[in-house]
Amino acid sequence: MLSAADALCGNVRYIRRMDFRGKLILAPLAGITDTTFRLLCRENGADAVLTEMASAKGLLMQPERTRRFLEFREEERPVGAQLFGASPDEIGEAAAAIRAMGFDFVDINMGCPVRKVTGGGAGAALLSNPVLAGEIAAAAVRRAGIPVTVKIRSGFGKDPDSYLDVARAVFDAGVSAVTLHPRTRSQMFSGLADWSHIGALKREFPGRVIIGNGDVRLPRDAARMIAETGCDAVMVGRAALGNLWIFQAMRSELFAPAGQAGLLAAPGRSAA
Mean of per-residue pLDDT scores for the chain: 86
Select which of 9, 41, 112, 231 is catalytic: 112
Of 162 and 271, more confident = 162
**Residue 7 scores a pLDDT above 70:** no
pLDDT value of position 271? 34
Q: Is 112 a catalytic residue?
A: yes
Residue count of the chain, please give it.
Answer: 272
Share of the chain above pLDDT 70, in %: 85
CATH fourth-level superfamily of 21-250: Aldolase class I (3.20.20.70)
pLDDT, tens only, 21-59:
999 999 999 889 999 999 999 999 999 999 999 999 999
**Above 90 in pLDDT, residue 85?**
yes
Position 63 confidence tier, pLDDT thresholds 50, 70, 90: confident
Amino acid found at 135: E
- A 10 A CB-CB count for 233 gives 23
Q: Where are the domains of the chain?
A: 21-250
Confidence of residue 270 (pLDDT cuts 50, 70, 90): very low
Nearest one of 98, 5, 41 to 242, comparing CA atoms? 41
* pLDDT given for residue 128 in this prediction: 92
Q: At 256, is the pLDDT very low, low, confident or very high (cuts 50, 70, 90)?
A: low
190-247 pLDDT, tens digit each: 678 999 999 999 999 999 999 999 999 999 999 999 999 999 999 999 999 989 999 9
pLDDT reading at 259 higher than 80: no
Confidence of residue 262 (pLDDT cuts 50, 70, 90): very low
Q: Which of 107-116, 118-127, 204-213 has the highest mean pLDDT?
A: 204-213
- Could you tell me the pLDDT band of residue 17, with boundaries at 50, 70 and 90? low
Identify the band that residue 1 occupies on the pLDDT scale cut at 50, 70 and 90: very low
- Helices and strands in the chain, H and E counts: 12, 8
State the DSSP code for 256.
Answer: P
Distances (CA, A) of 6 to 1, 12, 74, 109: 10, 7, 10, 28
Note the pLDDT of residue 113. 83
SS3 (DSSP) at 82 = strand
